[in-house]
Homo-oligomer: A and B are copies of this chain.
Amino acid sequence: NPRNRKESKPPQLPLVDENGSLNLERKGFPKTFLYWGDMFHTLVNITSTKFTIVLFIAYFLLFVVFAVPYYIEAIVHNSIPGIHSFVHAVWFSVQTSMTIGYGGDLTPVPESFITNAVVALQSVTSLLVAYSLLGVVYARFSRPTRRATTIVFSKKMVINNDGGIPSLSFRIGNIRKHQLIEASVRMLVAFNNLDSEDEDDSVFRFINLQIRGGGQLFLALPCIVSHAMVFGSPLHNLDEEKMRSSDMEILVLLEAVDSSTSSKLQARKSYRPSDIKINYRFSSMVHRMPTGRRCVDFSTFQNIDPISENSPDYLSSFNMNPVLVETSSYEDFS
């Protein structure tokens, strides 16, 4: 097929087509070896038609290969009274493989080819239905969504001058004993009427709030997560009046892995301006007991204490924010 390249350039298909699959061909490697060596992924990725063919061939072989010894034994030693021909042995093999084991007059007569073939077909189909069901039942039963409800957020956020830095904080805890690992938290803020040129109340945008210590948590103990309201933060120089009157929303996302099932989960919490308490701190909720072990007391999880004016953590003015973001990364556990 001669191709005229002088005037017309070849069409230039994008790498990814409309369906998200790749406009890509592959050659120059031994496919046979490849597909046999990694059978599982081959079977998962072939088309449904090919998979059905492979499935029926596999079961056909399973039924027929095992029918041979049954037939020989039945003919030679009459070990299975109902078997008189090889076809009978195949049906017996089907009933054994699929663990049916008919008996009585609800048993297809071995001579009836079609009925027994339908039995084989129905058995394999039922297996497929059951296994598809299994996947769904398993996924439904183990859904990490329910696990996420065992993560608790404080109902209030507090603002104070923690370590000399004006901070907006909330508390998060895992009330189940078994652990969440690789926990990381994100804070986002949205203003509905600020930052929007057309003043349409339906426009809002979320802006990331940097978390002191980087957002990686150790959830065995309840954590206080803080955002430094310093230069660079969208909350810098936000005074109390402005905050109270704004249509602001702070969204908190916790993503973690359940250590027993390795499933990922996300817990979410929204805070509104009315949920923010200024010059409060979260009450202590971890104590060392006389035995030397520590005890986490969730009954005080929601408690917050006012900060006295002469405490270094008291924030006298919102506008005296320092300019620099601290560089050292740390985490707080109350």
Docked complex Cα distance between A69 and B116 (Å) = 11
Q: Is A26's CB under 8 angstroms from B62's CB?
A: no
> A99: which B residues are within 8 A, CB to CB?
98-100, 123, 126
Shortest 9 CB-CB contacts between residues of A and residues of B = A103-B103, A28-B299, A79-B112, A11-B292, A14-B270, A28-B298, A103-B104, A100-B101, A13-B292
Q: In whole angstroms, what is the CA distance A257 to B247 when docked?
A: 31
Q: Evaluate contact between B136 and A135: CB separation under 8 angstroms.
A: no
Instruction: Say which one of A164-172, A198-206, A315-323 lies at the interface with B.
Output: A198-206
**Which residues of chain B are within 8 angstroms of A237 by Cβ–Cβ distance?**
none
- Which B residues are CB-close (under 8 A) to A78? 109
Tell me whether A260 is interfacial, beta carbon within 8 Å.
yes
Chain B residues with Cβ under 8 A from A62's Cβ? 125-126, 129
A24 interfacial contact with B, CB 8 Å: yes
A196-217 CB mask vs B (1 if < 8 Å, else 0) is 0100111111111010011010
Please give the distance in Å from A34's CB to the nearest CB on chain B: 6
Check A23–B80 contact: CB distance below 8 A.
Answer: no
Say how far A283's CB is from chain B's closest CB, in angstroms. 11
Q: Give Cα distance in the complex from A268 to B25, angstroms.
A: 17
Choose one: B41, B255, B290; the contact of A181 (CB below 8 Å): B255
How many positions in chain A have a CB within 8 Å of any CB in the partner chain?
A: 180
Kindly list chain B residues whose C-beta atoms are within 8 Å of the C-beta of A115: 69-70, 73-74, 77, 79-80
A82 to chain B, nearest CB (A): 4
A2 to chain B: closest CB distance in Å? Answer: 11
Q: Is the CB of B43 within 8 A of A136?
A: yes
In the bound complex, do residue B333 and residue A204 qualify as a contact, i.e. CB atoms below 8 Å apart?
A: yes
In the complex, the answer to whether B107 meets A80 with C-beta atoms within 8 Å is yes
A38 engages B176 (CB within 8 Å):
yes
Q: What are 19 A-B pairs with beta-carbon distances under 8 A?
A: A10-B292, A11-B292, A12-B292, A13-B292, A20-B148, A20-B149, A24-B295, A34-B150, A40-B143, A41-B150, A79-B112, A96-B119, A96-B123, A100-B101, A104-B107, A127-B133, A136-B141, A203-B284, A206-B218
Q: Does A306 contact B (CB under 8 A)?
A: no
Question: Given contacts A142-B139, A179-B266, A266-B181, is CB(A24)–CB(B122) below 8 Å?
Answer: no
Q: Chain A 91-124, CB within 8 Å of chain B: the 1/0 string?
A: 0110111111111111111111011001101110
Are A73 and B255 in contact (CB-based, < 8 A)?
A: no
- By a CB distance below 8 angstroms, the chain B residues around A141 are 39-40, 132, 135-136
Q: A82 touches which one: B44, B70, B106 (CB < 8 A)? A: B106
The 0/1 profile, CB within 8 Å of B marked 1, for residues 269-312 of chain A is 11110000000000010111111111111111100000000011
> Contacts A62-B126, A178-B45, A295-B26 given: A107-B103 contact, CB under 8 Å?
yes
